[in-house]
Amino acid sequence: MKVYFFATCLGSIAYSNTCINAIKLLQKEGIEVIFKKDQTCCGQPSYNSGYYEDTKQVALHNINLFNEPYPIIVPSGSCAGMMRVDYLELFENDGNYSMVKDFSSRVFELSEFLLKELKVRYTDTGEKIKATWHSNCHALRVTKSIEYSKALIRQLKNVELIELDKEEECCGFGGTFSIKEPQVSKAMVHDKINDIKSKGVDYVISGDAGCLMNISGAMDKMGVDVKGIHLYDFIAQRINLV
Amino acid sequence: MSNFHSKEQYEEIINQKLNDNQLRKNLQSVMQTLKTNRKNTIAARYTDWEALRELGRRVKQNTLANLPTLLEIFEKNAIKNGFKVHWASNAKDANEIILSLMQKKSQNIILKGKSMASEEIHLNAYLKENGISAVETDLGELIIQLIDEPPVHIVAPAIHKNRYEIGNIFKEKLNAPLESEPEKLNNIARDHLRKEFKDFKIGLSGVNFAIANEGAIWLVENEGNGRMSTTACDIHIAICGIEKVIESFEDASILDLLLVPSATGANITCYNNIIRSPRKEGELDGPKEVHIILLDNNRSKILADKHYYRALSCIRCGTCLNHCPVYDKIGGHAYLSTYPGPIGEVISPQLFGLDNCSPMLNLCSLCERCSQVCPVKIPLASLIRDLRSEKAGEGRGGVLGYSNTHRSKIEKQSFMIFRNLATSGLKWRLLIYQVRIFGGFGKIFGNMIPGLKNWLSCRSYPKLDATLHSKVKQLKGVIYE
């Protein structure tokens, strides 16, 4: 089986190891991965700021690029939601709608694909640890892929998953939101970190590079001794894929 | 009263609220309680909340599709029942109608039950200018009136004050003994208001549901002063946004079942006041006259838009505020509008002008939690995003104040550059390459680059590891094409 891999903009700029681990997780299941070198960004930055025409151009770039009928696998619930759900809204009443719909129906968040389509079973080889999980808002409410991500973590028998009190609350990233409203964003990420701190865990795991960059960056600045880690780096580590 | 607020005014008040630790603490604790109560009630009392939401959505959608007809039916039946119906196309009309009723009856005091529509038209300030005092009788409204503040929340207007602060307000403004126990505070408010209620002639209220087929109005409240304001007076004036008109009692019951748990987490309110007529011949009590003011104030403009009309489904439960991760950090006053929070971001620009309040559209991380909890399924986050497109000059252009809205040229250019890069594989790879080569300089110059400076205000410099393409090329088995 062949699939396209969409690395996302943050994946290619700040999380290349995560993308490599994500690809390895697919290869481990016998999947052949196609990496289109002309891939860019899903278009969320302009979309969320209301620049719909610019965003349509970016979306069409992706749609034309991933044109073969292969599944498009995204290691981020946020970008997957943009390409699967928001593109449809963006192209409502547009002549390209049916083409967009075909594209969107092929988009999967990686954990969803691993569990639902490939039915993976993981054997944990790591030490006993405690970890908590932050749900990315877009993955939770738009892509609806969070349950798959958490189900993958629950397969790891030496990982005690301790849930946050406010797991479903935004961490304050929100893409351009964190730049446009830095003070509000700061208050939000500090609340998130207080919740994380209260759990006495070794790791906070998230399936989204944006949230992770936000939470880890703020924890680092605050000197909090919890390690922020991407879901696919975490799994790869636990099953000895790295 | 000007509705315009600059970006700087927004920044100033947001920072002020963020630095108010007591406010942050109060908001967080109350919002958490409201969220938890709602969740528990829905889990314990409702077998299929989602289906009920869908029903509520449909009820409101059908109503809005038929609104002009339903308004006429309501008017006809209300008149038949003895109500006097007035039409107010804007705030000025509504205020003038109320003032002229007061003058005709030679009254200079009006007692108010809670009404957001009266806040929207700034009724209290208008009446004051004309020598008439409006006395708030809702406990929350009373508290904020004593300290001359607008409501911080559409359901719970004084939710930003804790009981100790309220005790101090009562001590200072009402010369009451210092108390902090809720029951004692309630008694202070009760004693104070009883004096006001004695011999009052005119009462004002809002409306939750105006039922077209019956020509009746339905008011929901928890304290009883709403019932006092509407029944113990000679004249009752009810101010009602036109979107509150629905077809039948059945529809109202569905919406009431959604409204109450969403608002407070209770499954029923203490009082449901259904008013079908003024006092009739031979009856001993009730107001002799009831006036219903149907307020448009740009609502019909919202109704005309193919997406935004859905915002008129709102039943003012406030649950989108309670669940908003921005609202519980800054509180309602920081939105500089009668309507704060997610629903406020959607309706304020449309009621008061996009040119007047567009900075509030930034107060949303698009987390979508509001859309998820809205009892009538208004796609709030999508509508906020759509309004951002109006602000960017790329919307449908029908929003009030569209052409006068300030548009950032820098932002527009930035996204043009983004589009230019993100639609070319080659340019994008060059960008990644530049990040790889120059990314380290960000650590040194980060505080001079505006966006990065904001990012670094509370976070470490991100590890920019822009080596994906070379790593993928080296990875065995990957088709890199």
pLDDT of residue B199: 87
* pLDDT for the residue B1: 57
ipTM of the complex: 0.97
Instruction: Return the SS3 of B135.
Output: strand
Q: Which of B419, B455, B471 sits opposite A16 (nearest CB)?
A: B471
Read off the pLDDT of residues A87-139 as tens digits, 9 standing for 90 and up.
999 999 999 999 999 999 999 999 999 999 999 999 999 999 999 999 999 99
Mutate to test the interface with A, among B366, B407, B461, B474 (most CBs of A within 10 A): B366
Give the pLDDT band of residue A242 (cuts 50, 70, 90): confident
Look-up: residue for tokens 């009730």? B286
- The secondary structure of residue A142, as a DSSP letter, is I
- pLDDT string in tens for chain B (481-residue length): 578 999 999 999 999 999 999 999 999 999 999 999 999 999 999 999 999 999 999 999 999 999 999 999 999 999 999 999 999 999 999 999 999 999 999 999 999 999 999 999 999 999 999 999 999 999 999 999 999 999 999 999 999 999 999 999 999 999 999 999 999 999 999 999 998 898 899 999 999 999 999 999 999 999 999 999 999 999 999 999 999 999 999 999 999 999 999 999 999 999 999 999 999 999 999 999 999 999 999 999 999 999 999 999 999 999 999 999 999 999 999 999 999 999 999 999 999 999 999 999 999 999 999 999 999 999 999 999 999 999 999 999 999 999 999 999 999 999 999 999 999 999 999 999 998 888 777 777 777 777 888 898 899 988 888 899 999 999 999 999 9
C-alpha to C-alpha distance for A57 and A233, rounded to whole angstroms = 32
Residue B102 · residue B129 · CB < 8 Å: no
Interface test with A, best of B32, B36, B418 (most A CBs within 10 A): B418
Q: Which residue has the tokens 């995560």?
A: A18
What are the residues facing B246 on neighbouring strands?
Answer: B211
Looking at the complex, report in whole angstroms how far the Cα of residue A166 sits from the nearest Cα belonging to chain B. 10
Angstroms from A178 CA to nearest CA on chain B: 7
Å from A54 to nearest chain B CA?
5
User: Region A161-188: what's the mean pLDDT?
Assistant: 96
- Report chain B residues whose CB lies below 8 A from the CB of A61: 422-424
Do residue B365 and residue A137 have CB atoms under 8 angstroms apart? yes
Nearest to B425 among A40, A60, A138 (CB): A40
HEC letters along chain A = CEEEECCCHHHHHCCHHHHHHHHHHHHHCCCEEEECCCCCCCCHHHHHCCCHHHHHHHHHHHHHHCCCCCCEEECCHHHHHHHHHHHHHHCCCCCCHHHHHHHHCCEEEHHHHHHHHCCCCCCCCCCCEEEEEECCHHHHHHHCCHHHHHHHHHCCCCEEEEECCCCCCCCCCCCCHHHHCHHHHHHHHHHHHHHHHCCCCCEEEECCHHHHHHHHHHHHHHCCCCEEEEHHHHHHHHCCCC
Cα distance from B365 to chain A (closest Cα, Å)? 5
Of the candidates A11, A7, A142, A1, the one whose C-alpha atom is nearest the C-alpha of residue A65 is: A7
Tokens of B63: 């109503």
**pLDDT at position B340:** 98
**CB-based contact B118:B124 (threshold 8 Å):** yes
What does DSSP assign to residue B157? Answer: T
CA distances from B428 to A83, A131, B422, B433 (A): 19, 36, 6, 9
Q: Do A187 and B426 touch (CB under 8 A)?
A: no
Interchain contact, B458 vs A181, CB within 8 Å: no
**Residue B2: its pLDDT value, please?**
76
Cβ-based contacts of A220 with chain B (< 8 Å)? 459-460
Between β-strands A32-35 and A107-109, what pairing exists: parallel, antiparallel or unpaired?
Answer: unpaired
* Percent of all residues in chain A with a pLDDT value above 70, rounded to a whole number: 100
Model pTM score: 0.97
Do B422 and A61 make contact, defined as CB atoms within 8 angstroms?
Answer: yes
Identify all chain A residues contacting B371, using CB atoms and an 8 Å cutoff: 141
- B459 and A57 within 8 Å at the Cβ level: the answer is no
